[in-house]
A = this chain, B = another copy of it.
Amino acid sequence: MLSKSQISFVNALHVKKNRKDLSLFLVEGVKSISEFLNSAFIVESIYCSSATLIKFSKLSPTVKFYEITDAELKKISTLTTPQDAVAIIRIPEKTPLRPESFKDRFTIILDGIQDPGNMGTIIRTADWFGFSEIICSEDTVEVYNPKVVQASMGSLSRVAVHYTDLSQLVSNSGIPVYGTLLAGVSIYETSFTEPGFIVLGNEGKGISYAVIPLITNQITIPRFGNAESLNVAISAAIVCSEIKRRGI
């Protein structure tokens, strides 16, 4: 049985400030937690039933296990309908960006994405298409937000997410900066022969004024119907697919 203070401790991690102060975040569900157990992330503790615990195939002895009831799970989960388990995982140390690698492969850049569902879906999609790194503007939604983690479906354990000043990063890069805008060159006609940054903008406002002038290749997903715009995670996916289709 969990004490009141144990419940409070897990619940504190529902809040961004506490995640930052404690360098810890939450992952829910055996499937997602398993992917973090199989990664370089350090899983500190798992809260679930004994019946659920045996579903984890690789449990290191350093992982603390708390046996809890369904009622307790409901108390600590961030979800309205909780999954089977909650884990507390350590936020890794920030790793420096390696600008020398940017010219070798495409890198996704998120400029002010606010919706955690979109952010998580972009991480999952990047992982599917083999993009190992995402770089975000400082005002992009926090990657350890439970809704981001949830939507990433375990892919956050494999895709490195950095936050930095985009203008500075992009202006000094010396590589193509592909920006998704409404009036660019069709992605079907863009050559994508030279790897570069793929910039995706905020849900409402698009790419920020500071970054727009730094775009070297304006690209567009052609519209065949009447919707005013595409969801940003959808745009990211279509561009990733188009690049990979070319075998790049």
Bound CA span A128–B130, Å:
26
Q: How many copies does the complex hold?
A: 2
Q: Is the CB of B231 within 8 A of A129?
A: no
Residue A244 at the B interface, CB < 8 A? yes
Chain B contacts of A127 at CB under 8 A?
A: 225-227
Q: Is the CB of B153 within 8 A of A225?
A: no
List residues 202-231 of chain A with CB under 8 A from any CB of chain B: 221-231
Q: What's the interface size class on A, roughly?
A: 35 or more
Residue A145 at the B interface, CB < 8 A? no
Bound CA span A173–B171, Å:
55
Bound CA span A31–B227, Å:
12
Residue A117 at the B interface, CB < 8 A? yes
Minimum C-beta distance from A219 to chain B (A) = 13
Minimum C-beta distance from A69 to chain B (A) = 25
Residues of A within 8 A of B (CB): 31, 117, 121, 124-132, 151, 153-155, 158, 188, 221-231, 233-234, 237-238, 241-242, 244-245
